[in-house]
Amino acid sequence: MPIISDERIHHELRIHSYGHYLRRRFGCRVSKVNVDAGFTCPNRDGSKGSGGCIYCNNVSFSPKDTRSIIPLEEQMAHGMAYHRQRFGSQKFIIYFQKYTNTYGSVELLSDLYRRALDHPDVVGISVGTRPDSLSDQALELLTEIARTRYVCLELGLQSMDDEILTRINRGHTLDDFVTAVQRAAGRGFDICAHLIYGFPGETADDFLKSADLIASLPIDSVKLHQLHAVAGTELAEMYRRGAFVPLQLHEYVKTAAYFLERLPAHVTVQRLYGSAPLEIRVAPQWGLKNNQMWFAVINELCRRGSWQGCRR
C-alpha cells in the first residue's frame, strides 16, 4: 500500500484536518464558537435580491444559544463553556456565522470583531460572508487584525456553475468569488471556501471540477456538505413537488472522497457534511450522527487506500 509522505495529512484521518492544523498552530485544542451578530444579507433585504438562497434557513446550523438578541459576550460564554466541557478545548475562534458578516459599516464590524477578541481565551475570529459583500474597508480591517491575531475569511461559493447559482437564487457569480479571493489574498489571513454538492442538474463530474478550482486559487481551507432541505425553504417545497431529489448517502460519500483525493494537501478541511435539527430536517434523512457522517467519508478513503491530494 502506498505510504502517505506528506506530514500535513493525518495518517488515520487521511486528510489535512483543520482541527489538527489549529492544534499545531496554537499548541492546544482550539474550537470554533458560533455567534449571531445580528447581520442580514443583501440577498434578503432587497439590495441584491429577496428571499435568500433556496436552501437557506439559518436555524439549521445555529445553536440555540446563538441569537442576536443575546449579547455577543453571553453567546461566546455559552459556546466556550460547551466546548470546554465536551471537548476539553482551551482556546477559541469566534465564528461570525449567520448571514453576511461583513455587511455593515466598518465601525460596526470593528466593534463586533474587537469585542470578540477581547476575551483572553480567544485566539482569533472567523468571518462568514458573501464574495459580493466584501468592501475595501472590511478587507483593510481584517488585514489590520490579522497582524496580531488569527483571522479566517469564509467565502460562500456553493457552486462554480453560474447557471446553478442563478437557479438557487444565490445572487453572485463565479467571477465574483474569484475576484473576492484575489482581493483577499496575501493579507495575512486564511481564506476558506464553502461548497455544496447535490444541486439539481449537477453531476459528480461537474462538482469535482471544484477541487481543481480550489487548487488554482490562494485558498487555505474548505467546507463541504451535501445539499439538504430544511423546513421553511424553497428547496423543501421543491422536494415536496418532486423537483429536488436528494443524493443517496453512498453517492455523497463516494464523490466527497474523490473530491478530497483531488484537493491539494496544503488545503485544510473544516467540514465534510451538513446537519440540521431533526425537527426541521426534510431531506435527505440519512439517520447518521455528525461523527458518523464524518467517518463515513474517512472510512471510504481508508477502504480505497487513498488520501487527500493523492490524485493531484
Residue 68 has pLDDT above 80, yes or no: no
Dump pLDDT digits (tens) for 112-151.
999 999 999 999 999 999 999 999 999 999 999 999 999 9
58 vs 306, residue with greater confidence: 306
Domains in the chain, CATH or no CATH each = 18-304 (3.80.30.30)
Work out whether the CA dihedral 44, 76, 221, 275 comes out positive or negative: negative
d(CA 231, CA 229): 7
Dump pLDDT digits (tens) for 137-191.
999 999 999 999 999 999 999 999 999 999 998 989 999 999 999 999 999 999 9
d(CA 154, CA 195): 11
**Cβ atoms 103, 133 nearer than 8 A:** yes
Q: pLDDT-based confidence at 1, cuts 50/70/90?
A: low
Burial classification of residue 233, based on how many CB atoms lie within 10 Å of its CB (0-12 exposed, 13-18 middle, 19 or more buried): buried
Closest CA to 254 of 195, 212, 296: 296
pLDDT cut 90: percent of the chain above it: 84
Q: Give the pLDDT score at 147.
A: 98
Q: Span 228-240, mean pLDDT?
A: 94
Q: Give the pLDDT score at 58.
A: 59
Dump pLDDT digits (tens) for 28-60.
999 999 999 999 988 888 787 777 888 988 554
